[in-house]
Amino acid sequence: DAGVIQSPRHEVTEMGQEVTLRCKPISGHNSLFWYRQTMMRGLELLIYFNNNVPIDDSGMPEDRFSAKMPNASFSTLKIQPSEPRDSAVYFCASAQDRDQPQHFGDGTRLSIL
């Protein structure tokens, strides 16, 4: 079975540009999570969806960040405008249901110059 698929794997862009990260969860999974990983702060939950509905977005750092899940098989995390401090690895994870183990994608390594 295919795991969680994220794209792109790497993104390098200049500050001020819009960045869109994409995620396809495991088929049949109802919960989807976006995380950010940095050396300083470790792994932080940004937002999670259950049945395509955002449940908790308290981890989204600023209004520059937004996430959508238009259907059960696709989600996006958008940063507009991007800043150098947004540089990090962004992970998407999915779970069969709210209290089931989360399975992670390979991440998007984002560098904002």
Identify the sign of the CA torsion 64, 59, 72, 29. positive
Binding site for other proteins (CB under 8 A): 4, 31, 33, 42-43, 45, 48, 50, 55-56, 91, 93, 95, 98-99, 101-107, 109
Tokens 């994220």, located at residue: 6
Nearer to other proteins, 62 or 99 (CB): 99
Alpha-carbon distance 6 to 107, whole Å? 6
Q: How far is the CB of 33 from other proteins (least distance, A)?
A: 8
Q: How far is the CB of 98 from other proteins (least distance, A)?
A: 4
Q: How far is the CB of 16 from other proteins (least distance, A)?
A: 27
Alpha-carbon distance 75 to 65, whole Å? 13
Nearer to other proteins, 64 or 106 (CB): 106
Element (H, E) at 21: strand 19-24
